[in-house]
Amino acid sequence: MAEWENKVRKAVPYTPGEQPKEKEITKLNTNENPYPPSPAVKEALEELNYRDMRLYPAPDAAELVSAIAAEYKVKPESVFVGVGSDDVLSVAFQTFFNSDKPVLFPEITYSFYDVWADIYKIPYEAIPLNNDLTIDPEDYTLENGGIVIANPNAPTGIFMGMDAIESIVKANPGSVVIIDEAYIDFGGESCLPLIKKYDNLLVVQTFSKSRSLAGMRIGFAMGNAALIKYMNDVKFSVNSYTMSRAAIAVGAAVVKDSEYYKGTCAKIIKTREHAKNALTRLGFEFPDSKANFIFAKHSTVEAKKLFEELKKRKIYVRYWDKPIIRDYLRITVGTSTDMQKLTDALTDILK
Amino acid sequence: MAEWENKVRKAVPYTPGEQPKEKEITKLNTNENPYPPSPAVKEALEELNYRDMRLYPAPDAAELVSAIAAEYKVKPESVFVGVGSDDVLSVAFQTFFNSDKPVLFPEITYSFYDVWADIYKIPYEAIPLNNDLTIDPEDYTLENGGIVIANPNAPTGIFMGMDAIESIVKANPGSVVIIDEAYIDFGGESCLPLIKKYDNLLVVQTFSKSRSLAGMRIGFAMGNAALIKYMNDVKFSVNSYTMSRAAIAVGAAVVKDSEYYKGTCAKIIKTREHAKNALTRLGFEFPDSKANFIFAKHSTVEAKKLFEELKKRKIYVRYWDKPIIRDYLRITVGTSTDMQKLTDALTDILK
């Protein structure tokens, strides 16, 4: 080991789902939207003036912030934007989870939460789920340094109603509560209305899932202006210009075409419900997902085996060889053709 | 103050140069390139398939990394890419400056260094410059937790030769030395060849200045593979996908057209030398800049007054009301027309 390596921070990074380079695969492993984004994206890209790229973008990304504010009927001062919701959440962790008390989040949830806690040296306590994989709001009344909950939760897909969220936010006036609504548009109901009532609630969403814009890297948070100001102070201590001119223009265009994404979400919900029936017939069990994925366990065959057999057939789903969840596959809801391929392959594997 | 605010990290952010929304101004305040980027950017934007935006970008940004590696004749494992060099430098600070010894950097330098040190709780010591604003390499032999030097330095524009850099890197085998070469293409000489000899040297560059791509947010670092691996581990602990599909495609295209940017840099250098003569005739003094800006002090008139008078005439330059440098204006080198406007305005103000 070189001498300078003593001063290096050795991080254990998050491992994202595989991004295979092959084209001819059925990719149901990273919860991408099977439909292209709104045609407004095409127009916005075409309208970009390449000559303007010599200039920095607006550091406040005002065009995008205003578009989001108008769409969600909040003030621009209540909106924070970042390079995907991972960037937004990471800034929120850095900003709000700054005490010696443990931050609370479910034991089974988005697997970046403990990675951020580690990198920012935030103490945390992972709270077990109920046996049916649901979250018990009562568990989030312990003394804490902050709370983060994905709703619907990942990778279970289970949605928690607004009353339950409100009970958590209300019980914790001394902490910021982050609700990560990456998958909210697939049948859940956003707790956004609560930000007017509770100044300690931050709602985080993304353009990567329901708006089919994972490739552009846009996420956002909404909360009272004081929360957003604190986040911007941290953001401007790291990088003044995180949002490119392309991201700002494309993001603003897509947020103005809500009809389009609501249509594709409706299609995905329909396909999901159909897929649930097909999977049940094949011997799978799963919690009732309100997200664009299904977290499914087969009654007799090991998830690992199914994962590998599907991969041989060029169908990629997500599998974690970890306690509690190693019996499950997380299957992204694709088009109905994708799901037919999946159920055909599973029928073949299970026969 | 709300109860949750006790747990908030209160950051004092970096203040970037103004980005006025008016179009009819002469913008010489943020060191942007006055020329548009290579026409390859136009093509790359046109070739983006908006439908693919539903998919995440490649987390390793391999297309961009390979293009940079080919251009600079290093291995892809020696290249790290980020959202502008601010992102790259911020990750490098987090990764390499992880001891209780102070990180060293010049007292007058890029004003983000102390902001990153504060946000990441890194102890630091700002080393005074020589009276002529040059850096003394001998000052960087103190015991330290790491070193960062901008070369050419900002906002002085003074370039330090490769021998001086090598003496610093060689004297500090126990620390990572970061050389921030944001402005290297305007007449300096990169210390990149030294990375083959020293495993503790990280060279950081950006597409924002010489390649006219500030609006796209692309920066990169080059160093031995172990350094780059450590940075990627930290990066993947914060955000798996920082580089959008647009940034990857545009970045890869622009790096392949080196002839273009070398041409615009040559024009800027010519304009800079001409502007130096004009400023001298107007009573200014300045260190010999090898960057795309001139750090100039007038013999009789206060910098603050000149800054304000120029602003009234819609010419924006950069001014800091801070010790040591409050007598100076940092003037970005624009087109020869921009510089003529500047010298005409200064002539008027000084008459």
User: B240 and A86: CB-CB below 8 Å?
Assistant: yes
Q: Is A351 on the interface with B (CB under 8 A)?
A: no
Alpha helices, DSSP H only, in chain A?
39-47, 62-72, 84-96, 113-119, 162-171, 225-235, 245-255, 258-281, 303-312, 336-350
Rounded CA-CA distance A108/A190 in Å is 21
Cα–Cα nearest to A110, from A85, A92, A146, A144: A85
Query: Taking the CA of residue A279 as centre, how many other CA atoms within 13 Å lie in the half-sphere pointing to its CB?
Result: 28
Question: What type of residue is A176?
Answer: V
Rounded CA-CA distance B266/B254 in Å is 17
Rounded CA-CA distance A327/A303 in Å is 5
User: A45 and B42: CB-CB below 8 Å?
Assistant: no
Interval A130-143 mean pLDDT: 96
pLDDT for B103 equals: 98
pLDDT for B16 equals: 80
Q: Is B282 on the interface with A (CB under 8 A)?
A: no
Kindly report the pTM of this predicted structure.
0.96
**Cβ-contact A51, A232 below 8 angstroms:** no
pLDDT for B15 equals: 80
Residue A165 predicted with pLDDT over 80: yes
Cα–Cα nearest to B331, from B299, B286, B301, B300: B286
Query: Which tens digit of pLDDT belongs to each residue from A300-309?
Result: 999 999 999 9
Cβ-count burial A286-312 (b if 16+ within 10 Å, e if not):
bbebbbbbbbbbbeebebeebbebbbe
Tell me the pLDDT of chain B averaged across its residues: 96
pLDDT for A242 equals: 97
- With beta carbons under 8 A apart, name residues in chain A contacting B34: 54
CA distances from B92 to A176, A313, B249 (A): 29, 41, 24
Confidence of residue A207 (pLDDT cuts 50, 70, 90): very high
Q: Is B23 on the interface with A (CB under 8 A)?
A: no
pLDDT for A16 equals: 80
What share of chain A in percent tops pLDDT 70? 100
**Cβ-contact A145, A169 below 8 angstroms:** no
Q: How many CB atoms lie within 10 A of CB A49?
A: 12
pLDDT for A19 equals: 82
Query: Which tens digit of pLDDT belongs to each residue from A172-194?
Result: 999 999 999 999 999 999 999 99
pLDDT for B20 equals: 83
Interval A234-258 mean pLDDT: 96
Confidence of residue A170 (pLDDT cuts 50, 70, 90): very high
User: A53 and B37: CB-CB below 8 Å?
Assistant: yes
Alpha helices, DSSP H only, in chain B?
39-47, 62-72, 84-96, 113-119, 162-171, 225-235, 245-255, 258-281, 303-312, 336-350
Residue in B116, B145, B215 closest to A7 by CB: B145
Residue in A12, A15, A238 closest to B90 by CB: A238
Rounded CA-CA distance A39/B338 in Å is 39
What DSSP letter does each residue of B264-301 carry, written as one string? HHHHHHHHHHHHHHHHHHTTEE-----SSEEEEEESSS
* DSSP state, residue B15: -
Least confidently predicted of A13-22, A31-40, A56-65: A13-22
Q: Is B86 on the interface with A (CB under 8 A)?
A: yes
User: A119 and B237: CB-CB below 8 Å?
Assistant: yes
Which residues, including other chains, have CB under 8 Å from residue A138's CB and lie 6 or more apart? none
Q: Is A325 on the interface with B (CB under 8 A)?
A: no
Query: Which tens digit of pLDDT belongs to each residue from A88-105?
Result: 999 999 999 999 999 999
Residue A212 predicted with pLDDT over 80: yes
B201-206 vs B219-222, strand pairing mode: antiparallel
Rounded CA-CA distance A294/A334 in Å is 11
ipTM: 0.96
Angle formed by the axes of helices A303-312 and A336-350, nearest 10°:
110
Q: Is A96 on the interface with B (CB under 8 A)?
A: yes
Query: Which tens digit of pLDDT belongs to each residue from B166-199?
Result: 999 999 999 999 999 999 999 999 999 999 999 9
Residue in B8, B96, B217 closest to A230 by CB: B8
The H or E element spanning position B342 is: helix B336-350
Paired tokens of B133? 């604003």
User: A215 and B53: CB-CB below 8 Å?
Assistant: yes
Q: Please name the residues between 172 and 231 in chain A that touch chain B, using a CB distance below 8 Å.
A: 173-176, 199-200, 208, 212-217, 226, 230
The H or E element spanning position B330 is: strand B328-332
Which residue has tokens 């906002």? B155
Residue in B37, B53, B213 closest to A213 by CB: B53
Coil, strand, or helix at residue A108?
coil
Chain A closest-CA separation from residue B335 CA (Å): 13
pLDDT for A23 equals: 76
Paired tokens of A256? 């103005």
Cα–Cα nearest to B294, from B303, B305, B284, B286: B286
Q: Please name the residues between 98 and 137 in chain B that touch chain A, using a CB distance below 8 Å.
A: 98-99, 101, 115-116, 118-119
Question: What type of residue is B32?
Answer: E
pLDDT for B14 equals: 82
**Cβ-contact A197, A326 below 8 angstroms:** no
Confidence of residue A14 (pLDDT cuts 50, 70, 90): confident
Name the residue in chain B with its Cα closest to that of A1: B226
Tell me the pLDDT of chain A averaged across its residues: 96
Coil, strand, or helix at residue B160?
coil
- With beta carbons under 8 A apart, name residues in chain A contacting B214: 53-57, 241
Residue in A14, A53, A59 closest to B19 by CB: A59
What share of chain A in percent tops pLDDT 90? 94
**Cβ-contact A51, B36 below 8 angstroms:** yes
pLDDT for A12 equals: 87
Q: Please name the residues between 286 and 305 in chain B that touch chain A, using a CB distance below 8 Å.
A: none
Chain A closest-CA separation from residue B64 CA (Å): 15
Name the residue in chain A with its Cα closest to that of B112: A237
SS (H, E, C) B64-99: HHHHHHHHHCCCHHHEEEECHHHHHHHHHHHHHCCC
Query: Taking the CA of residue A343 as centre, how many other CA atoms within 13 Å lie in the half-sphere pointing to its CB?
Result: 20
Q: Is B13 on the interface with A (CB under 8 A)?
A: yes
Q: Write the burial class of residue B100 (CB in 10 Å: 0-12 exposed, 13-18 middle, 19+ buried).
A: exposed
Residue in A2, A58, A217 closest to B200 by CB: A2
The H or E element spanning position A123 is: none
Residue A117 β-bridge partners:
none
User: B246 and A216: CB-CB below 8 Å?
Assistant: yes
Name the residue in chain A with its Cα closest to that of B44: A50
Least confidently predicted of A5-9, A22-26, A295-299, A332-336: A22-26
* DSSP state, residue B327: T
| Residue numbers in chain B where pLDDT is lower than 50 | none
Which residue has tokens 């991408």? A32
Rounded CA-CA distance A90/A217 in Å is 14
Chain A closest-CA separation from residue B283 CA (Å): 30
Residue B328 β-bridge partners:
B297
pLDDT for B21 equals: 77
Rounded CA-CA distance A350/A217 in Å is 38
Q: Is A320 on the interface with B (CB under 8 A)?
A: no
Rounded CA-CA distance B156/B26 in Å is 21
Confidence of residue A238 (pLDDT cuts 50, 70, 90): very high
